[in-house]
Structure formats: C-alpha cells, structure tokens
Amino acid sequence: MSSTSRVDLKAIPAQKGPRPRFHYPLPMPEPSHVPRDVAARAQVWKESYGWTEPVTDPDSAFPGIAMGWCLGRFSTPETSKAVLHAVGCLLEWSFAIDDEVLDHPDARSRSSEVIRLVSRITHVMESPGYRLPKDAPPLIAAIHDVMEQMRAQCTPTQVARVSTGLRCILASGVHKIHMDEPDEDEYLALRIHDVGGYTYASMIEMCGPAPIPDEVWNAPAVRALIGCAVLLVGVENDVVSYHKEKAEGQTSPNFVGILEATRGLSFDQAVAAAIETRDRLMLLFLRLRERLLPTAETPLRYLIDRLGQLIIANTEVTWCARRYNPPPAQRMAPEDVIRTPECWAPSLSTSDTSPLPYPSISWWWDHC
C-alpha cells in the first residue's frame, strides 16, 4: 500500500500559496561531488523490492537526482561507494516505511499490525546473521540487506548507532499513530526522531574520514547539536508539507496544525510561528557550532560541517525532488537552488537566542 496510491500526484501541492522560504546564514558551497551512479544503483535496489513511483519524467537523463545530490552533501569523493550505496538504500527504505506503514492513512486503524511489523523489523535489523525466510515481506528483506551492507563496511559501533537511531524512528512512528492531540513539547520531542534524528548523523559519520569516539559522540553539546539540526529540518518539512500530507489523507500530527490548535492561530499565523521556531533553532545551531569547532578533531569537524549541509540539502530537496514536486515543470535542478536568491529568505525572522519553552529540548541551550 502506498500513501499516494489513491491520490493523483499532480493534485497534491506541497504548500498552498507562495512557497515558504528559510534563511541559511552560513556559506552554501556546492557538493564536492554528486555520486549519481550510486544513487541510480540505490534506485534499482529500491525497485527490486517493488517500490516504484509514477513516471512523470520518462525523458530524465538518470534516476535519483535528489538522492545523488543528498549523498554528495553527506560525503566526499574519498567516501567508499559501498558505504554510500548502503546509506542510499537506507534512505530509500526510510521513505518506503513512511509511505507504506507509519504515515499511511490506514495506520491508526491497523495499529496492531503496525506494532507487530515494527517489532519484527527491530529484531531483524539488530540480529547479525539473521536467516531471512523466503517469504519475508519487502520491508523486512530490505532492512536485512541494508544492515548486512553496513556490517560489511562499517565498525560495529557505527552500525549500532544506526540501529539505535532506527529504533527511535520506529518507536516514534508507533507513538505518532497513537497521538490524538499532542502538545507542542510532546510533538517536538517525537519529531526529533521521526524525521530521522540520530540516524542521519550516524550515516553522515559513516561517510566521514574516521569514526567519532564514544565519549565525543555522547557529549551533551554534540547531542544537542545533532538534535537541533534534525529538529530544524523536521520543522521546515512540516511547514512545506502540510497541505501535501492532508491531501494524501495522512492523519499524523504536523507542527503547523498543532500550533493552530494549541494557540488558536490562523494558518498563516501558525506558519509564521513555526518558521520563528525554526529560526531560533538555527540561532542555537550557530552557537553550538561556534562552541564545538575550536577544539573539534577531524571526525567531529566533519560531522559539524555536514549537519549544516544537511540543512541546505533539505531545502534543495523541496525544490527538486519528485516527492515534493510531482510535475517535472515544477522542479528545479538541484545545483540551481543555492544560486537562486528567491529560494531563500533574506534573513532570519527573529534574533531571539533565549531557550525555547519546551522541557524536552530547552537543555540544549545549556551547552552553547
């Protein structure tokens, strides 16, 4: 089942009215490389499990243009192509489980089935040497293959970090389908993991020059930096995708809708409030970055830099990916996004550097 199977993709707007824009205050370099060959192989891998998308641009020169661009943002020309392929496959799997299970319109009515599947996925991904049954469902077979790819290329600690991040994604997905009216703090705590959370950071680290030691990875300021970057991306996605999610029939919460409900705001006011939250997270990201960089060794410096590129890539994807722009005419070439001022807000919407009033994340400001 697919969350867009019953809806004409051309009829799904990512956002009604003018497209929201976000400000990125740091330099925006182009990726040092774009591994389109790896992205194309990840696309073939995805299709081998039966996950296909409508062909809206049959004359496209190559598949996976947005994926290749994102992999370039995460990596360098020296990154192993086998590692990049594993990362690309995991990203494709993540989209599939969102569309097929966690964000599907029927998720709430099939919660028992979802919980059983999530429990099985968790066991499979954490079991080296798991013997896959011949009749294993595609989501099970695919995550088994991804984890085996990673075990062959990465350290046990790196694989364990990915597994931990995936466990949080799955747990947050189950949590989300049982939430009726979450408050702002509960939602943001969930959104850190739901959007990819520490899994993104783990994949970026895999693409870097060397593993990050445990004592650095688990340092409060580093955890705060990772959480801040991925939550910022999650809030951006909520703003951009609000109408798309509703048109697809998704019943899961969205920060814009929560702000409308909890504060009695109009839609436009809620969007403005969400963007202000995003911009306050950006100000925190800059301060945490400034604190960590002077003493950071090469692996951590790489992670800090690539978390910034993750934020850039998130905006680029909303302008160029088929997922957000089904008709080809609506898509930009990814290399044009950072060159086009109209794609970006000229400034942040606030200069407020005080902690956001949410217990789940306010501790981040203690470390900048």
CB-based contacts of 49, cutoff 8 Å, min separation 6: 96, 138, 141, 142
Q: What is the DSSP letter of 209?
A: S
Q: Give pLDDT, residue 6.
A: 32
Residue 32 CB neighbour total at 10 angstroms: 12
CA angle 342, 354, 356 (to 5 degrees): 80
Asked if the model's pLDDT at residue 319 lies above 80, the reply is: yes
Mean pLDDT, range 60-73, rounded to an integer: 76
CATH of the domain at 353: 1.10.600.10
Number of domains the chain is built from:
1
Asked if residue 47 belongs to a domain, the reply is: yes
Q: Which of 255, 278, 247, 302 is nearest to 350 (CA)?
A: 278
Mean pLDDT, range 174-185, rounded to an integer: 88
Residue 53 pLDDT class (50, 70, 90 cuts): low
Asked if residue 5 belongs to a domain, the reply is: no
Residue that has been written with the tokens 């705590």 in this structure? 189
Which domain covers residue 317, as residue numbers? 32-367
131: Cα within 13 Å, side-chain hemisphere: 0
Asked if the model's pLDDT at residue 191 lies above 90, the reply is: yes
From CA 337, how far away is CA 340, in angstroms rounded? 5
Q: Which of 98-112, 242-256, 265-279 is the least confident region?
A: 242-256
Q: Give pLDDT, residue 247.
A: 58
Structure-model confidence comparison of residues 108 and 59, the more confident one? 108
Q: What percentage of the chain exceeds 70 in pLDDT? A: 90
Asked if the model's pLDDT at residue 35 lies above 70, the reply is: yes
Q: What does pLDDT average to over the chain? A: 89
Mean pLDDT, range 325-345, rounded to an integer: 89
Asked if residue 184 belongs to a domain, the reply is: yes
Asked if residue 26 belongs to a domain, the reply is: no
Q: Give pLDDT, residue 338.
A: 96
Altogether, the residues listed in the chain come to a count of: 368
Asked if the model's pLDDT at residue 13 lies above 70, the reply is: no
pTM, two decimal places: 0.91
Mean pLDDT, range 242-256, rounded to an integer: 72
Mean pLDDT, range 235-245, rounded to an integer: 85
Asked if residue 218 belongs to a domain, the reply is: yes
Q: Which of 72-76, 119-123, 149-153, 247-251 is the least confident region?
A: 247-251
Q: Which of 103-112, 134-143, 229-238 is the least confident region?
A: 103-112
Is 281 exposed, middle or buried (CB count within 10 Å of its CB: 0-12, 13-18, 19+)?
A: buried
Summarize pLDDT for 76-128 with one digit per residue, the tens.
999 999 999 999 999 999 999 998 999 888 988 999 999 999 999 999 999 99
Q: Give pLDDT, residue 10.
A: 37
Sign of CA dihedral 72, 77, 80, 85: positive
Mean pLDDT, range 44-49, rounded to an integer: 96
Asked if residue 129 belongs to a domain, the reply is: yes
Task: List alpha helices for the chain, DSSP H.
Answer: 36-48, 65-74, 81-97, 111-125, 138-153, 156-177, 184-194, 197-206, 214-217, 220-247, 255-263, 267-292, 298-320, 334-337
Asked if residue 234 belongs to a domain, the reply is: yes
**128 alpha carbon, distance to own chain's centre:** 26
Asked if the model's pLDDT at residue 322 lies above 80, the reply is: no
Q: Which of 82, 196, 201, 207 is nearest to 145 (CA)?
A: 82
DSSP collapsed to 3 states, 34-78: CCHHHHHHHHHHHHHCCCCCCCCCCCCCCCCHHHHHHHHHHCCCC
Residue 167 pLDDT class (50, 70, 90 cuts): very high
Asked if residue 17 belongs to a domain, the reply is: no
22: Cα within 13 Å, side-chain hemisphere: 32
Q: Give pLDDT, residue 3.
A: 35
Q: Residue 198: what are its φ and ψ, rounded to 5°?
A: -75, -10
